[in-house]
Amino acid sequence: MHDKTVAQTRSFALIGHTADGKTSLGEALLFAAGATSQLGSPADGSSVLDATPEEQERKHTLTSAVYGFDWNDQHLTLVDTPGDPNFQGDGQIALHGLDGAVLVVSASDGAKVGTESMWRASERAGVPVVAFVNRLDSERADLDAAVASLKDLELNPIKITLPIGSGEGLEGVVDLISMKALRGDKESEIPAELQDEAEIARAELVEAAAECDDDLLEKYLEEGELSEEDVMAGLVKGTHGRALVPVLCGAAPSQIGTEACLRAIQRLLPSPDQREPWPATREGDATTVEADPDGPFAATVFKTVIDRYAGTLSVFRVVSGTARSDSAVLNATTGEKERLGKLLLLQGAEHVDVPTAGPGDIVAVAKLKHVRTGMALTQEKGGVALAPIPIPAGALSYAISATSKGDEDKVFSSLGRLVEEDPTLQLGRDPSTGEFLLTGMGELHIRITAQKLKRLYEVDVELKTPKVPYRETIRGKAENVEGKLKKQTGGKGMFGVCFLTVEPKPRGEGLEFVDEIVGGAIPRNLIPAVEKGILEASEAGPLAGYPVVDVRVRCIDGKHHSVDSNEMAFKLAGSFGFKAALEKARPTLLEPVMRVEVSAPDDLVGDVMGDISSRRGRVQSTESRGHTAVVKAEVPMAEMLEYASALTSLTGGKGAFHMEFDHYDEIPASERDKIIAEARTRAAEEG
C-alpha cells in the first residue's frame, strides 16, 4: 500500500441489519479482487472476516473486522461491521475513521431497523454511501420493493445495476452507466429481453445524475442526454454530497454483482483527498486537516483489538502526514507521549508488516500504553488534535461477580482489558447497592463478554439482574422534632439536643441542611456535627434502607451542656432527630424512570406500545420512519432490566431500543409495599 497515492486509496464499511449478508458480500469482494484464494463463508466457518470463536459459533459478526487489500491499482480497506443492535456500536465508531460505506439490504425483506440505524450512523459521521441489494437469487427477492424501502428511510436511491434473470436463474447484472451486461468480470451486450427495461432505468439514472449539478442539468435539458463521463461526474458529486445513494444488486455468495460493486466503490466513494477536511484544533484554536502525506501527522484510533500473541493492538486511520515504525508520537487526547512499534496491515486475523502509512491508510500498532478507542494521535511538535470519536452509551447493566471468591482481582483486571477493546462496555460500581455493574448495548453483548472472559482469561463470572437503585423521600412536613442524646456514666457524660424540621424538596434537588440556630442554642463549632449525623443517617431511610433524597432539613433549635456536649453527642443527636422526623413526614419510595426509545417494524407498533403499558410505562410519542415506527416512552427501570430478551421475542429480532436515566418518581402503593417487604426480609436474612 505504501506505493499507492492518496488518490488511489479507499476505505469503506459494510453496514446494515444483521443477517442481510454483509459478511458474505465482504468475502465475495475479497475473492473477486484476488485478496483471498477461496470464497469464504460465515455458514461453514471459512470466513476470514468472522474469525473469533464466538463469531464462528454463532455464525454472525460480533466485532468489526478490518481487511486491507490491493485491487485494480488501488489500495482498499474493507471494514465488516456487526448488524446486531447489541454490537452495532462497534461499527458506528468505525464509520468515523472511514471515507465511505456500502449499505447492504436484503432483496426479500428490504430495509429493516438495523438498516436505518446504520444509515443514521453514516449520516452522523458524514460518510457517503452506496447500497447493495443482496440475495437476489432467493425465492422472495424483489429489487423494486427493496429500493422502495430505502426511499422510506428518506434517502434518495437510484439504481445503477439491474439483475439478469431472477431467483435461481440469476446470472449477472446490467451496468446502467456503461450499458453493458456483467457476468463475473466479463462484459457483453445487454440481453434483448432486458433492453427496454435497461433504457428506462438508464433514463432515470441520467436524470438523477443531472440534478446533482447545475451545469449538467442545463446540458441535459438542452441535449436530452449525457455522456457516460457526465453521468459518472453527476453520480460522484451526488454520492459525495449524500444527495443520492447509488443502488447495486446481486447475490454475493454466487459472485453475482460483486465486480460491479468493486467498481462502484472505486469510482463513486471518495478518496481521502476528495472528502471535506477534518476538523481539529491546534494549540486550542480551531483548524482543519487535509489529506497531505507531507503535512503534520494526525490519526484517529477507531478500534482496539486484544490479541493473545501481539498484545493490545490500536487500529488507526492516518488522516494527514505519514506514520513510520519506531517514531515518536503524541496522544493528542491526553497529552501523553507514545512510540509507534511495527506498523501492521490488518487482513482479518492476519497481520502484515508495512514500513509506512499515509493519508487514508489503516494500520495497527501494538502496545501503545495510554491509547484507547476514540482518541487521536499526532506528532510531538507542531501537531494537531483531531476531535475524539463519540462513543455510544450502553443501554443495559448486569451485576457481575467472580464465581470463585479467589478470582475477584483476576476478573476485574481481565474485564478492564475487554473494556479497553470495546468502549461500548463500561465497568463501574453502584455506590447505593455496592454491586459491580457491567453495562453494555444489550443482554447478548454482556453475555458474549462473559464468554470471552472465560476463553481468553480462564475466569468464570456470575451475571445477575442488578438491584434497582431505589431512593426514599417524604411527602409531608414534620416540625420541631427532637433529636436527643443524654448519657451519664459517672464521669464525663454525653449530651446533645437538636430540634429539626423536615420538608420535601422538588424532585432531583437532593438533601439540603439549613442552619437556623440563633442565640447560641447549639455552639457554632458543633453545628457541623449535627449536619454530619443527618448526612450519615440519610444513607439508609426508614422504609427499606435506601438513601434519602429531596429533603430540606432545618435545624431550628437545640440545647447543650458546657461540659458534656461534644461533636459525637451532636452527631448522634442529629441522626436520631432526622430518623424520627422522617417517620412523621409520610416517607415514601422513589424509583428511577428511564427515557426509552424503541424501534420496530410499523406493523408491530401496537404490540410494542401494549407491552410498554404493561410495564407501567407512559408512551410519550410515536413517529414513523419508513417501515419503522419509533416509540418514545418513560418506563420504570425495574420493568426494563430484561427488556432486551422480551423485545427480541416480541418482534422476532427486528426491534431495537435505547434507554437512559431520566428522573425519579414515586412508586405506586402496591409496588412500594412489595419492595419494602422484600428489603426487610433480605435485611433479616443478612443478620
Residue 357 lies in a domain: yes
Same domain, 179 and 36: yes
pLDDT for the residue numbered 674: 92
Which of 525, 557, 585 is the endpoint of a domain? 585
pLDDT for the residue numbered 661: 80
Residue 235 lies in a domain: no
Residue 212 lies in a domain: no
Residue 459 belongs to a domain with what CATH number?
3.30.70.870
d(CA 219, CA 390): 43
Q: Give the chain's domain count.
A: 5
User: For residue 400, what are the domain limits?
Assistant: 396-464
Q: Residue 501: CB partners within 8 Å, gap ≥ 6?
A: 477, 478, 479, 480, 481, 553, 554, 556, 581
**Whole-angstrom Cα Rg for the chain:** 31
Same domain, 164 and 264: yes
Same domain, 86 and 114: yes
Residue 553 belongs to a domain with what CATH number?
3.30.230.10
Give ∠ CA 68-74-76 in degrees, rounded to 5: 25
CA 467 to chain centre: 24
Residue 343: Cβ within 10 Å count: 25
Which of 568, 585, 602 is the endpoint of a domain? 585
Residue 492 lies in a domain: yes
Same domain, 125 and 264: yes
Same domain, 257 and 339: no
Q: 559 - beta bridge partners?
A: 497
Which of 338, 359, 386 is the endpoint of a domain? 386
Largest pairwise CA distance in the chain: 114
Same domain, 340 and 453: no
First-to-final CA distance of the chain: 67
Integer CA distances (angstroms), 50 to 26, 44, 59, 219, 406, in order:
10, 11, 8, 48, 34
Same domain, 486 and 572: yes
Same domain, 36 and 170: yes
Residue 223 lies in a domain: no
Residue 665 belongs to a domain with what CATH number?
3.30.70.240
d(CA 295, CA 319): 10
Q: What are phi and psi of 323, to 5 degrees?
A: -90, 140
Q: 0.95 cut: is pTM over it?
A: no
Residues in the chain: 687
Q: Reduce the DSSP state of residue 222 to 3 states and report it.
A: helix
d(CA 662, CA 617): 13
Beta strands 65-71; 74-80: pairing state: antiparallel
d(CA 264, CA 565): 84
| Cβ atoms of 103 and 131 closer than 8 Å | yes
Residue 35 belongs to a domain with what CATH number?
3.40.50.300
CA-closest candidate to residue 642, choices 628, 663, 657, 630 = 657
Same domain, 652 and 504: no
Beta strands 245-249; 129-134: pairing state: parallel
Ranges of the chain with pLDDT below 70: 1-2, 308, 395, 431-433, 490-491, 625-627, 686-687
Residue 200 lies in a domain: no
Same domain, 456 and 483: no
Same domain, 577 and 512: yes
pLDDT for the residue numbered 395: 66
Same domain, 12 and 129: yes
Residue 318 lies in a domain: yes
Beta strands 396-402; 461-464: pairing state: antiparallel
pLDDT for the residue numbered 626: 59
Q: 503 - beta bridge partners?
A: 552
Integer CA distances (angstroms), 571 to 417, 485, 516, 538, 563, in order:
44, 9, 17, 13, 16
Return the exposure string of 275-299: e unless at least 16 CB atoms fall within 10 Å of the residue's CB, then b: beebebeeeeeeeebebbbebbbbb
Read off the DSSP letter of residue 205.
H
